[in-house]
């Protein structure tokens, strides 16, 4: 079985090597083979060189956008399973193989990782926690879906389900969209708690702007599906 790991990057020279090393270590004792697709958006540092040196397949995506990066990555995957995580060491790359095993053993289609259950010290500032809480509530009130972490960016799923998902968001709201699409399609979906750590490098998130964009997406989706 092949696992495709997709990692979006933009100037992550301080952390991408460690993430790739953690993946290598995890898969060295796993029954799965794997490929890493680094979807890079105009990095000016040595991110691309490090990724290529460590065996990743680099996809150059000049169009900015969180969702845009993932859609580019999805189109190039070869694996039976897809795993996603950030390049800043916040998500536990070492847990990917365990989560793929859980997907298989429990007959699941999609696992979304719940950061809120395993926040380490200083991993998320209070305004971000409040923002996540408000967006989780919006998901529940507008769409009737219970999510502990609607904004998580670490997912593990079967590649074949992509044909069941209508993914259109090119920005940060992609994270909400892929979860809602999976649940609305009746796929076998669950959340799993993970550890979430302080990021390495400069943050890319625009807290208020991205938060409002994500809330607006939830409102627009509700109107479209009413």
What pLDDT score was predicted for residue 147? 96
- Report the percentage of the chain scoring pLDDT > 90: 85
- Asked if the structure places residue 216 within a domain, the reply is no
- Report the percentage of the chain scoring pLDDT > 70: 97
- The predicted-structure confidence for 90-128, as pLDDT tens digits, reads as follows 999 999 999 999 999 999 999 999 999 988 888 888 888
- Asked if the structure places residue 162 within a domain, the reply is yes
Q: Is it the case that residue 89 has pLDDT exceeding 90? A: yes
Tell me the average pLDDT of the chain.
94
- Asked if the structure places residue 11 within a domain, the reply is yes
- Asked if the structure places residue 32 within a domain, the reply is yes
What pLDDT score was predicted for residue 18? 97
- Asked if the structure places residue 143 within a domain, the reply is no
Distance (Å, whole) CA 147 – CA 29:
32
- The predicted-structure confidence for 186-201, as pLDDT tens digits, reads as follows 999 999 999 999 988 7
- Asked if the structure places residue 158 within a domain, the reply is yes
Distance (Å, whole) CA 3 – CA 81:
5
Per-residue confidence band for 35, with pLDDT thresholds at 50, 70 and 90: very high
Q: Is it the case that residue 203 has pLDDT exceeding 70? A: no
Q: Is it the case that residue 204 has pLDDT exceeding 80? A: no
- Asked if the structure places residue 169 within a domain, the reply is yes
Q: What is the CATH classification number for the domain harbouring 65?
A: 3.90.550.10
Looking up tokens 């090393």, which residue turns up? 21
Write out the residue range of the structural domain in which residue 48 sits.
Answer: 2-125+148-202
Number of domains in the chain: 1
Per-residue confidence band for 42, with pLDDT thresholds at 50, 70 and 90: very high
- Asked if the structure places residue 223 within a domain, the reply is no
3-state SS class at 199: coil
By DSSP bridging, strand 155-158 and strand 110-114 are: antiparallel
Burial 62-80 (b: 16+ CB within 10 A, else e): eeebbbbbbbbbbeebebb
């Amino acid at each position: 079985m092949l696992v495709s790991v997709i990692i979006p990057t933009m100037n992550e020279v301080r952390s991408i090597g460690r993430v790739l090393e953690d993946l290598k270590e995890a898969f060295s004792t796993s029954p799965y083979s794997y490929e890493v697709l680094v979807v890079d958006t105009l990095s000016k540092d040595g991110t691309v060189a490090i990724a290529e040196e460590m065996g990743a397949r680099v996809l150059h995506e000049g169009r900015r956008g969180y969702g845009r990066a993932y859609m580019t990555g999805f189109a190039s995957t070869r694996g039976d399973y897809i795993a996603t995580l950030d390049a800043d060491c916040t998500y536990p790359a070492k847990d990917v193989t365990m989560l793929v095993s859980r997907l298989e053993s429990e007959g699941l289609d999609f696992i979304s990782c719940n950061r809120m259950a395993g926040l380490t010290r200083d991993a998320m500032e209070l305004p971000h926690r409040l923002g996540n809480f408000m967006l989780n509530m919006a998901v529940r009130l507008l769409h009737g879906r219970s999510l502990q972490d609607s904004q998580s960016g670490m997912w593990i799923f079967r590649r074949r389900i992509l044909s069941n998902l209508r993914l259109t968001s090119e920005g940060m709201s992609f994270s909400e969209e892929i979860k809602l699409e999976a649940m609305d399609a009746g796929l076998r979906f669950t959340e799993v708690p993970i550890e979430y750590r302080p990021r390495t490098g400069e943050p890319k998130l625009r807290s208020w702007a991205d938060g409002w964009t994500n809330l607006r997406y939830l409102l627009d989706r509700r109107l479209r599906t009413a």
